Structure 1
Amino acid sequence: MYRFLLTPRWWGINVFVLLAIPFCVFMGSWQLGRFEDRVDSHRGASEQAAQSRREAPRPLTELLPVDKATAGKQTTATGTYGEQLLVPDRELDGKRGFYVLTLLRTDDGKAVPVVRGWLPGTADPAKAPAPPSGKVTVTGALQPSENPGENGVSAAGGLPAGQTAAISAASLVNLVPYDVHDAWVTLNEGDSGMRAVPVAATPDTGLDLKAFQNLGYTGEWFVFAGFVVFMWFRLLRREIEFARDAELGILPEESGSVTDETPAAAPSGAAGPSGG
């Protein structure tokens, strides 16, 4: 039995270790649970998107406001195409390009942004085909408004006229002279030879950066727990070595060399101070 373990100093060390290890394990398990939840939600979102493609499209007004339950659902809307904008810096199958976004003015007076398709290269109005004229009915997947920084959406400002960085009512309110629904539709089939834009993952449901951050935090907490155990054993080993040295009569100051303050011993046989 090592008596030093009963000292107040080691009582404090042991209490800290006994509290720190369960806390680190709990936090690591919690972060791992968060990652597993995101994996499950990603799988559920993919299944929901596949199921939604098989469902009959519903009117846009029945699915608004868009949320996790209605995101990706098939919808239909009728109206007249108005202003057309380009959304630059969008990737599809590893290639850089841009979306062709056209505002569809519906009978309720508001407009819904419709992504008619994707084109490769730099955003150029000359490349974007003009929208059909007159009354049109569109069918596609309903999507929530984008936020800069999510799902690869750029937050770059200072875009040329006729372009927008994000597809949202907040971004479009200053670009078009009418109200815009806080959602958008991506057509199931690209218009005028353009490629259709696939349904994007709903925020906080995909395997995005946040999900892998949770996985990274999981590893960090378990590493912290291992580090606490390692340091405890290291301190214990040092304390045991000090205790053994003390039992052998080896004191720290005796293990060093003679210092300048220590007077040197007189050589043997040397004469001592003469008496008067």
Structure 2
Amino acid sequence: MQRPRRTPTTRPCSARESAPRRRPQPQPQPRQSPTSTTTSTSRTGPARRSSPTRPGSSPTRGPRAGATPSTDPGADAGSVHGRHPAGSREGAGTIGLVTRTENAPVSSDVDVPASMWEVARRPRWIAMLALCLVIAGIFAWLGHWQIERSVESGQEVNPETETVKVLSDVVDPQSSFFDRVGGQMVTVTGQFAPDDFRVVVDRYNGGDPGSWLIGRLVDDADGSSVVVALGWSSDEGGAEAAERAVPTGTVTVTGRYMPSDQPSDGDFREGRENVVSVPMLVNEWTDLDGDVYSGYVVSADPVDGLAAIDSVAPESDRSLNWLNVFYAIEWVVFAGFAIFLWFRLVRDRFERDVDEAEEARLEGATAS
């Protein structure tokens, strides 16, 4: 049996129901500046940000019709900064509220010095300056010492060599021979020892070879003995014959005080002496009592039968020692370099502080 078909009934619609429904329009979102960060702080409803569109597709303005908001908490994890998790459909199931926060600029704790001298006034660099000044002072003193040496070498060792002085006042017996007494005119009073005369051969006088007659004089002042060269003869026999003309009593001898010669073994082995060596004569003298002077006196007044021995004043080199001057200049340069080294270290420290402050400022500007 066929059922009768029910005829649908219609009812009048109101104007509100008959009007087409409008799709809710998303609210415009404020544009984020490059220096701001966005965070998702709450879940208030469906996300209203549009996802990037693919070529050939129309932009999506909101959720599709009939779609329901997702309640899965994990669905909101990938929606930070408007991004969607991998595998999710574009613009679907994202919930979040985008907010904008401003980051404060990075502060720098680097102390920027106003000038290099501000760095120099720090305790560390003041101590370094004191050390450099001490080192420079030592170098300057060494330079001054070299200058004194160069000046001393250009002066006469003894400018008063021609002034006659008492031998005992110039030098002491048994003392070393110093350059300051070499060639000094002296006087000594005493008696000659009768058995201690010697003839020294191969002595030149004015370029001519000859012989000297020497003897031992005992000083009346302190009993010390000194060798005296009494004169020169062109032949050895004439020097030996002049020994009889030597006074036997107290005499005063004036002459130039000269250093002793070095011992020689050549002619001494044949019974002849060619040097005036005080140490060698001491071993030959008889009845020696008392001290001995380390030099000998060349008499200005020879005994009868002999010629005066050439004895000129010593020559001194008055030229300046340039080697010592060069050393003095070197020490002055070293002293200046010590001060320059401190200055350079302070300047490098100042430039490093400025560079570090600039780098910190740039990092702070980039981070903000």
Larger Rg over CA atoms: 2
TM-score, structure 2 as length reference: 0.40
TM-score, structure 1 as length reference: 0.50
More helix by share: 1
